[in-house]
Amino acid sequence: MRTERLVRRMIGGRTSPVAGSIDRAHAGLVTGWLGCPTCPESPQIEVRVDGTTIQGQQLTTPRPDVPGGSGFLLRFTPISTAHDPVIVRVQCAAHPATSIEAKVGSEDWRVPALGRIERVSWPHVSGWIAEFVPMSTQAKMCLQVDNGQTIPVRGNVPRPDVQTFLGAEGVTGFQLNLGDALGYAVPSGTTIRLLRGNLLLDEATVETSPLGPLSESCIPSPDGSDHIEPSVLADLLVRFRSTPAAAAPDADWQRLLDGLGFKVHSASTHQWAEFLAAHDYGAADIAAILAIRKIKGMGVPVLDPLPSALSNRVRSASPELPERVQSWTDDVLGLHQQPESDAHEKKSPQAHDLRVCVAGLTEHRSGLGQNATHSITALRAAGIHACTAPFFPAPGGWNPRLLPTKQATGALKDHSILLHLPIDRVAPALCAQSALLASPRIIGYFMWETEVIPRQLWRPLGLVDEIWTATEFVAKSFHAVTDTPVRVTGHAVDVSMVELVTRAELGIPDDAFVVHFSFDANSTVARKNPNAAIDAFRAAFEGDPSAVFVLKVRNMQQAEHLARSGDPHARGMMQRLQENPSIRLITGELTRARSLGLIAMADCFISLHRSEGYGYAMAEAMALGTPVVATDYSGSRDFMSSEVGWPVGHSLVDVLPDEYFYWEPGMCWAEADVAQAAAALRNIRSAEGVAERVEAAQKHIALVGTIDSLRDAYADALAPTKPPSANGAIAGPRQEGQGLLRETFP
């Protein structure tokens, strides 16, 4: 909020031609400024209320916005008056004729506090509070959400800008995390009120919520009367109970915890593991107890995520656990229940599958969020009912509609769930949004970026009935470790909204040859491999001032952090940026339309990635008619070949620890041939055969990468009686010795 909002001019009739104003006047506070033409310096101020001189603490405040550069602030013991309006007169103590007056309504005069909400960008709320009257125990500062829930507000941030106008006493700023306080998210547009007791100080609306704006849904909003019935919980538990940990029975507690889908190896986790081991608990018991500890921090009521063998062990051990550890098991839904059957039958397509709830990152600004949006569009284009259940899979991002109430579970019994989430968030999400488990068929729309799937992700793959993914590369990786059916649906590429980006605004000559690459540093610098792209550009056009490399980096602060931490890939990028004046660096958040405009502006798009699940930017470049040079490896091979682009050869190299989010033995990816990429760049600049290949690329993407192609794939996958087509075939059973391990625990 701009400081000017604090200045509320209350100029009344002036008794002489003086400069000044009363900015604020309340019982306990008068602020403003006064210039006295007779006094050589700032005058000593005298304040009179309804003719009575007020005694109090007077301060001179810096006011660069007014003549003389200073103002006055008088804090005094609040006084009451029967007059309405209250007449406030400020005068020079030495020259009383130099004065200004203001008429203040009685309601304004009696205000005991002021406050502002300056920013509500989920989950953060910030602002300031100023109290003129001591706060009673009945009149606490709080934020109130639309649903009536209140959150205490305590000043915790210095605000000298506000104190300039209102003084230091009782004036402070506040910052709080609504997600942490509530445990769940509220929709964008939700009203947040700043209250002092029953007095409304300010209100604002939530922005950028992971739930998006409030909209109609098949799942009703909680109304306070919803309750969780044991019979409902028993049905929801079956999927977790029947999906074992992906680990051998004799594994240590860390591997067992990984195998449950909960990798939480913090220092405190290790301390508790050592504590439990010292009390003679075995590895299986320790892993199960620590998994329960993990989900207790979700912020909402959570469902027991353990398979039968481990859940039984926790139940039997619970009475003997130390009191602190026992508290972790309190209120975990279903922990002390046993479903009638531990067998979960994976469903074949039925008529009810024509109702689909797209759940997860439907409102998220990321590739995963884009996938979810395309799924909704494609389903509706196919005439299939598609509602949404957005949430972000972390405390403060949960959707309260997806708690396991009778109303929510009843609404989802005739819907298939299409779950758009990172694989490692599936188990925690189904614990915290357990109404989803009422669906007879859960489809996981999952992406991955290496040939090896870490063991931690095997169990989440088994929690769903079917897996959809975009490319054969990803499907093959999944098929190697799970017997859950896998279907390749493809992706949709939308370039309908493109903002024109001119070379002039980037300081690039119109006749320059422009090579472009863009990536998100949160997707790891090592995998995206901008260094190879820069090296190929330099090898192709060293010393040529008419060649320009435009590099767009989202979340550049992450790359800078990695460089400071010693990451060789990030440090290499920073060094190349310093050494090469031909690179134009663009950072920060751009709209999707402007990002597409950069691709359209370029003469070539290059991606020497080490691995991609799909490769949106490459497909978008092809659709926009920009030639593409890319590593001939991983998901991009599904839509790119030498007939429609410039694929670059590679050698396979090991993935090293810290290069990717996970590391497993045997994990590898591609190292592109930089010399071959440089030759491709020179070929594109020569224009020989380029137009024909670009035209073929646009036609190819129009066939395999549109909403229409995705619509057809989804309609085929959800058809009640139609068998899978050859192009979208469901993968068969895994080979002997592969797949999700089905051990039980002694």
CATH of residue 572: 3.40.50.2000
Co-location of 56 and 128 in the same domain:
no
Rounded to the nearest integer, the mean pLDDT of the chain is 87
Co-location of 101 and 157 in the same domain:
no
**Which residues partner with 54 through β-bridges?**
none
Q: In this structure, are strands 466-469 and 441-445 parallel, antiparallel, or unpaired?
A: parallel
**Is residue 285 helix, strand or coil?**
helix
Q: What's the rounded mean pLDDT across residues 581-608?
A: 94
Look at residue 43 and tell me if it is in a domain. yes
Instruction: Look at residue 729 and tell me whether its pLDDT is greater than 80.
Output: no
Give the C-alpha separation, 58 to 167, whole Å.
10
Helix/strand/coil (H, E, C) string of 402-425?
HCCCHHHHHHHCCCEEEEECCHHH
Instruction: Look at residue 740 and tell me whether its pLDDT is greater than 50.
Output: no
Please name which of 422, 610, 626, 615 lies closest in space to residue 524, comparing C-alpha atoms. Answer: 610
Co-location of 93 and 165 in the same domain:
no
Residue, of 215 and 398, whose pLDDT is higher: 398
pLDDT given for residue 323 in this prediction: 83
pLDDT given for residue 345 in this prediction: 60
pLDDT given for residue 132 in this prediction: 78
Q: What's the rounded mean pLDDT across residues 260-271?
A: 84
Report the chain's C-alpha Rg in angstroms. 32
Model confidence over 487-536: pLDDT tens digits?
A: 999 999 999 999 999 999 999 999 999 999 999 999 999 999 999 999 99
Measured in residues, the chain has a length of: 746
Give the C-alpha separation, 627 to 550, whole Å.
15
Which residues, 6+ apart, have CB-to-CB distance to 4 below 8 Å?
none
Instruction: Look at residue 164 and tell me whether its pLDDT is greater than 80.
Output: no
pLDDT given for residue 8 in this prediction: 57
Co-location of 80 and 131 in the same domain:
no
Last residue of a domain, one of 205, 230, 252: 205
- By the 8 A CB rule, do 123 and 151 touch? no
pLDDT given for residue 228 in this prediction: 73
Co-location of 98 and 147 in the same domain:
no
Looking up residue 154, the CATH number of its domain turns out to be: 2.60.40
Instruction: Look at residue 630 and tell me whether its pLDDT is greater than 60.
Output: yes
Last residue of a domain, one of 205, 222, 238: 205
pLDDT given for residue 135 in this prediction: 64
Model confidence over 132-159: pLDDT tens digits?
A: 776 665 678 899 997 778 999 988 889 8
Range of the domain at 55: 3-109
pLDDT given for residue 249 in this prediction: 75
- 301: preceding bond cis by omega (within 30 degrees): no
Which of 241-250, 566-575, 714-723 is modeled with the greatest confidence? 566-575
Co-location of 676 and 637 in the same domain:
yes
pLDDT given for residue 6 in this prediction: 59
Co-location of 562 and 653 in the same domain:
yes
Look at residue 422 and tell me if it is in a domain. no
Look at residue 291 and tell me if it is in a domain. no
Look at residue 604 and tell me if it is in a domain. yes
Q: What's the rounded mean pLDDT across residues 313-332?
A: 80
Co-location of 533 and 640 in the same domain:
yes
Say what percent of the chain tops pLDDT 70: 90
Please name which of 689, 211, 614, 209 lies closest in space to residue 448, comparing C-alpha atoms. Answer: 614
Co-location of 19 and 105 in the same domain:
yes
Q: What's the rounded mean pLDDT across residues 297-322?
A: 84
Instruction: Look at residue 188 and tell me whether its pLDDT is greater than 60.
Output: yes
Q: Specify burial of residue 171 (Cβ count, 10 A radius: 0-12, 13-18, 19+).
A: buried
pLDDT given for residue 224 in this prediction: 65
Instruction: Look at residue 636 and tell me whether its pLDDT is greater than 90.
Output: yes
Instruction: Look at residue 733 and tell me whether its pLDDT is greater than 70.
Output: no
Model confidence over 60-118: pLDDT tens digits?
A: 888 887 887 788 888 888 887 888 889 999 999 889 888 999 998 888 888 888 899 99
Co-location of 153 and 60 in the same domain:
no
Instruction: Look at residue 599 and tell me whether its pLDDT is greater than 80.
Output: yes
Co-location of 641 and 531 in the same domain:
yes
pLDDT given for residue 17 in this prediction: 57
Co-location of 571 and 667 in the same domain:
yes
Q: What's the rounded mean pLDDT across residues 293-302?
A: 88
Look at residue 143 and tell me if it is in a domain. yes
Q: State the total domains in the chain.
A: 3
Look up the pTM and report it.
0.84
Q: What's the rounded mean pLDDT across residues 709-720?
A: 89
pLDDT given for residue 568 in this prediction: 96
pLDDT given for residue 344 in this prediction: 59
Q: What's the rounded mean pLDDT across residues 660-679?
A: 94
Look at residue 443 and tell me if it is in a domain. no
* pLDDT band (50, 70, 90) for residue 342: low
pLDDT given for residue 516 in this prediction: 97
* pLDDT band (50, 70, 90) for residue 743: very low
* pLDDT band (50, 70, 90) for residue 341: low
Look at residue 701 and tell me if it is in a domain. yes
pLDDT given for residue 4 in this prediction: 46
* pLDDT band (50, 70, 90) for residue 468: very high
Last residue of a domain, one of 48, 75, 109: 109
Look at residue 648 and tell me if it is in a domain. yes
360-374, 458-472, 590-604: lowest mean pLDDT where?
360-374
Please name which of 612, 361, 672, 608 lies closest in space to residue 470, comparing C-alpha atoms. Answer: 612
Model confidence over 397-409: pLDDT tens digits?
A: 999 999 998 889 9
Other residues' Cβ atoms within 10 Å of the Cβ of residue 586 = 18
